[in-house]
Amino acid sequence: MPYKLLFVCLGNICRSPSAENIMNYLIDRAGLSEHIFCDSAGTSSYHVGSPPDRRMSAAAATKIGIKLRGQARQFQRSDFQDFDLILAMDRENFEDILALDLTGQYHNKVFLMCEFCSRHTLEDVPDPYYGGVEGFNQVIDLLVDACEGLLQNITSQRLIVEIKEL
């Protein structure tokens, strides 16, 4: 069974689908596509069914040459059982996710995305939705850093090696 990652932001049209697609790009480049599965969701239902924001897609294409794919969905309680790691884009998303875990049994699966950054010092991935092009570009840079760190963290913990041996 693949190791499953879920990226979560507010509306699931900017930050979390970007993280999902960047991570898939890095996973594919590392030859680990069969071993790691990625998805994304939003804590709200604002944009359910919508594709990634066109401004975010433009930034991803310009900065790293990838096309953002996906369709917004809302985070569900069942995601706690279905995913090995749940990565929140900011403190508010983090708290909203934990609030759905009434017993606290899944708190150890939930992390802030920026915990995996090595080059950036921000604690949250800022929401670029109401800003300009520079905000979307900053989010891509930040997520590339965080995704690289996350992939390194997962592989260094031998989780992928164990999966490959199964």
Active-site residue numbers?
9, 15, 127
Distance CA 128, CA 136 (A): 5
- Contact at 8 Å (CB) between 11 and 46? yes
Beta bridge partners of 8: 41, 88
Distance CA 72, CA 11 (A): 7
Distance CA 165, CA 33 (A): 15
Distance CA 107, CA 80 (A): 9
Distance CA 72, CA 29 (A): 25
Distance CA 125, CA 132 (A): 15
